[in-house]
A and B are shown apart, each in its own frame.
Chain A
Amino acid sequence: NAGVTQTPKFQVLKTGQSMTLQCAQDMNHEYMSWYRQDPGMGLRLIHYSVGAGITDQGEVPNGYNVSRSTTEDFPLRLLSAAPSQTSVYFCASSKGAVGQPQHFGDGTRLSIL
């Protein structure tokens, strides 16, 4: 049982480049979300989805796009990478019900030069 799978695990980009962070889950969870983790800042919500075809912005959405064409996949796109987007990115999924915790991927460590 794979759970939540994120790829790649590490990535270095140059300023201005674009890329997509992949996230897939095999638990048939309706809710999926992307967080970024920066030292001393905890996890901040970038975008989330409550089901296929439905996405919404979180606390820090600028510079990122998402789409949810299937229940399983929730990719995060960086349109034009900036050094401020250097961070560790976590994808999470949940059943979207009372008491149900988030299931996290292993994270993607992204550096923007």
Chain B
Amino acid sequence: AQKITQTQPGMFVQEKEAVTLDCTYDTSDPSYGLFWYKQPSSGEMIFLIYQGSYDQQNATEGRYSLNFQKARKSANLVISASQLGDSAMYFCAMNSGGSYIPTFGRGTSLIVHP
């Protein structure tokens, strides 16, 4: 069985500062994928970034980067230079064991202050 844990129900950050959203995972399968999604107040789910378990380098997509620490089973999302539009719910998700249907964490609410 696979499990995703997001321990921060809510986070606050000042505009233009960086913020890290935590995600830990548990799986016995050596092959897995980790995803982050953003859900703004309008409700849609937006894919942000992906990290594969065999990827040698941490994934980056613009202002988003994934701090992947395999030994610690953590896949934290780092948002640099926060913007007001980054205020949203953020979900970490994982698939493993040959299944491409992910399991989601409970999410972290991020509020960016001006």
Are B44 and A42 in contact, CB atoms less than 8 angstroms apart? no
Given contacts A41-B106, A42-B107, A99-B33, contact A104 B44 (CB under 8 A): yes
Per the 8 Å Cβ criterion, residues 59-114 of B in contact with A are 91, 93, 100-107
Among B44, B52, B93, B101, contact of A106 (Cβ-Cβ < 8 Å): B44
- Interface size of A as a range: 20 to 34
Residue of A nearest to B51 (CB): A99
How many residue pairs bridge A and B at CB < 8 Å?
52
Chain B nearest CB from A66 CB (Å) reads: 13
Are B104 and A101 in contact, CB atoms less than 8 angstroms apart? no
Hey, which chain A residues are within 8 Å of B33, CB to CB?
98-99
Hey, which chain A residues are within 8 Å of B106, CB to CB?
40-42
Given contacts A43-B91, A88-B43, A101-B35, contact A48 B101 (CB under 8 A): yes
Tell me whether A27 is interfacial, beta carbon within 8 Å.
Answer: no
Chain B nearest CB from A2 CB (Å) reads: 14
Residue of A nearest to B107 (CB): A42
The digit string for A35-46, where 1 denotes a CB below 8 A from any CB of B, is 100001111110
Q: What residues make up the interface of A, taking CB atoms closer than 8 Å to B?
A: 31, 33, 35, 40-45, 48, 58, 88, 90, 92, 94-104, 106-107
24 interchain pairs, CB-CB under 8 A: A31-B101, A33-B101, A35-B104, A41-B106, A42-B6, A42-B104, A43-B91, A43-B104, A44-B104, A45-B103, A48-B101, A94-B100, A96-B100, A99-B33, A99-B52, A100-B100, A101-B35, A101-B37, A102-B37, A102-B47, A102-B102, A104-B44, A104-B45, A107-B43
Q: What residues make up the interface of B, taking CB atoms closer than 8 Å to A?
A: 6, 9, 33, 35, 37, 43-45, 47, 50, 52, 91, 93, 100-107
